[in-house]
C-alpha cells in the first residue's frame, strides 16, 4: 500500500510578499524548485496560519488543482483568491523569438485583462488564474493557459483573434464557467455549511422559546400556589393538568410558541417532572438570595401553612 500523501506534499513554504500584484524590479531569478520536487509527499500537516504562505505563487510551478485532495480544493482556492493574481513587474521582461523579430511580455497587458492574466517568471509565459483554480481535470481546450503557458507574443496584437480575447469568448466557454464557479465559491451565504448553521440557529431559538414557556408556566403556577401535575397527563387525556394545559394555552396566542411546543427537537420537550423540579429549585434559590440581600445578617424564619388530605396526612 502506498504511503498516504498529505497536503504539504503539494506546497512549498514561501515568505510573505510585500505586495500581491508586484515584485521588486530585478532580473529574472532561476527557479529553485521543480514540479517534481513540489509533489514529494510530506508528513506534517499545514497549520492554518502558515497555510497561505505555503502556496506556490509562480503559475508555472504550481501543481495542477486535480492533484490536490478533493476535500482540500475549495480551501486552496480561497487561499489563492485571497493572495490575488501573480503579476510581477520587471524592469525588463526577457525577449524570445527569431532574430530581428524578438518580442517580450508587456506589463500593460495586466490592465487589459486584470481579472485573470498571470505571468510566470520561470517559464516566461502567461496563465489564466481562474481556469487554473477551477480545473478539476486535464482539459485540452485550456491546457495552454493552465499547464503549458502561452508565450507566442506575436499573436497578442491580432485584434479579435488575440488568444487572450478568444480564451474568454463565449457565454459557455471554460473560462466563463470558471468565473461563475469563483462567484459561487465566494458566495458564502449559498454554501451548504451556512445552511446547516442557519438551521442550527433556528433550532436554538425554538429550544429557548420552548424552555421560556415552561419557566413562565412553572413560575405562574407556583405564584398562585397551584399544583403542576395532573391526574392523567397522557396525550389522550381530556385534562392533562395545570402545567400542560396552561402551556398549551400560551401557544394559542403566539404562533412561534405554538410551533416550538408542538414540534420539539428530538426529546427536548422540557416538560418532565425532573425539569419542573429543577426550575422550582432555581426559583427558590433566587428568592432566598434576594431575602439575604435585603435583610443582610439578620435572622428570619418562614411560616408555611399546612394542608391535610382525606387520610389526614400533612
Q: What integer pLDDT is reported at residue 109 of this predicted model?
A: 92
Region of poorest pLDDT, from 208-217, 229-238, 303-312: 303-312
252: Cβ–Cβ under 8 A, 6 or more apart, which residues?
258
Q: Among positive and negative, which fits the CA dihedral 240, 241, 243, 245?
A: positive
The domains of the chain are located at: 7-186, 200-295
DSSP 95: E
Q: What integer pLDDT is reported at residue 199 of this predicted model?
A: 66
**The residue to which cell 513540489 is assigned:** 38
**DSSP per-residue letters across 186-199:** H-GGGSHHHHHHHH
Q: What integer pLDDT is reported at residue 136 of this predicted model?
A: 82
Q: What integer pLDDT is reported at residue 190 of this predicted model?
A: 54
72-107 tens-digit pLDDT: 888 888 888 888 899 999 989 999 888 878 899 999
Contact yes or no for 219/283 (Cβ under 8 A) = yes
d(CA 142, CA 200): 41
- pLDDT above 80 for 265: no
Q: How confident is the model at residue 194 (pLDDT cuts 50, 70, 90)?
A: low
Region of poorest pLDDT, from 17-21, 59-63, 89-93, 271-275: 17-21
140/195: higher pLDDT: 140
DSSP 310: T
Alpha-carbon distances, residue 295 vs 286, 291, 299, 303 (angstroms): 14, 6, 8, 17
Q: How confident is the model at residue 58 (pLDDT cuts 50, 70, 90)?
A: very high
Q: How confident is the model at residue 44 (pLDDT cuts 50, 70, 90)?
A: very low
d(CA 253, CA 79): 50
Alpha-carbon distances, residue 66 vs 12, 84, 240, 251 (angstroms): 17, 20, 62, 54
**DSSP per-residue letters across 165-185:** HHHH-STTSHHHHHHHHHHHH
User: Regarding beta strands 95-96 and 103-104, do their DSSP bridges make them parallel or antiparallel, or are they unpaired?
Assistant: antiparallel
Amino acid at each position: 500500500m502506498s504511503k498516504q500523501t498529505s497536503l504539504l506534499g503539494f506546497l512549498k513554504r514561501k515568505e510573505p510578499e510585500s505586495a500581491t500584484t508586484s515584485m521588486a524590479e530585478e532580473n529574472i531569478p532561476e527557479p529553485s524548485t521543480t514540479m517534481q520536487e513540489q509533489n514529494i509527499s510530506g508528513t506534517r500537516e499545514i497549520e492554518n496560519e502558515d497555510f497561505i504562505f505555503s502556496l506556490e505563487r509562480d503559475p508555472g510551478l504550481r501543481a495542477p488543482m486535480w492533484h490536490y485532495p478533493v476535500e482540500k480544493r475549495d480551501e486552496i482556492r480561497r487561499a489563492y483568491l485571497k493572495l490575488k493574481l501573480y503579476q510581477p513587474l520587471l524592469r525588463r521582461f526577457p525577449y524570445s523569438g527569431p532574430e530581428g523579430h524578438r518580442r517580450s511580455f508587456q506589463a500593460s497587458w495586466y490592465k487589459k485583462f486584470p481579472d485573470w492574466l498571470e505571468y510566470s517568471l520561470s517559464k516566461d509565459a502567461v496563465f489564466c488564474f481562474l481556469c487554473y483554480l477551477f480545473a478539476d481535470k486535464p482539459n485540452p481546450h485550456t491546457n495552454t493557459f493552465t499547464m503549458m503557458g502561452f508565450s507566442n507574443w506575436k499573436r497578442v496584437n491580432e485584434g479579435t483573434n488575440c488568444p487572450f480575447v478568444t480564451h474568454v469568448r463565449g457565454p459557455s466557454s471554460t473560462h466563463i464557467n470558471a468565473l461563475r464557479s469563483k462567484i459561487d465559491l465566494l458566495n458564502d451565504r449559498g454554501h451548504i455549511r451556512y445552511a446547516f448553521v442557519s438551521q442550527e440557529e433556528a433550532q436554538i431559538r425554538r429550544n429557548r422559546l420552548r424552555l421560556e414557556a415552561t419557566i413562565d408556566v412553572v413560575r405562574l403556577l407556583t405564584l398562585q400556589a397551584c399544583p403542576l401535575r395532573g391526574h392523567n397527563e397522557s396525550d389522550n387525556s381530556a385534562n392533562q393538568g395545570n402545567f400542560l394545559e396552561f402551556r398549551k394555552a400560551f401557544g394559542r396566542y403566539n404562533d412561534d410558541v405554538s410551533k416550538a411546543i408542538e414540534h420539539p427537537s428530538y426529546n427536548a420537550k422540557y416538560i418532565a417532572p425532573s425539569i419542573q423540579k429543577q426550575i422550582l429549585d432555581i426559583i427558590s434559590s433566587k428568592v432566598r438570595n434576594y431575602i439575604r440581600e435585603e435583610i443582610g445578617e439578620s435572622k428570619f424564619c418562614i411560616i408555611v401553612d399546612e394542608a391535610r388530605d382525606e387520610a389526614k396526612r400533612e
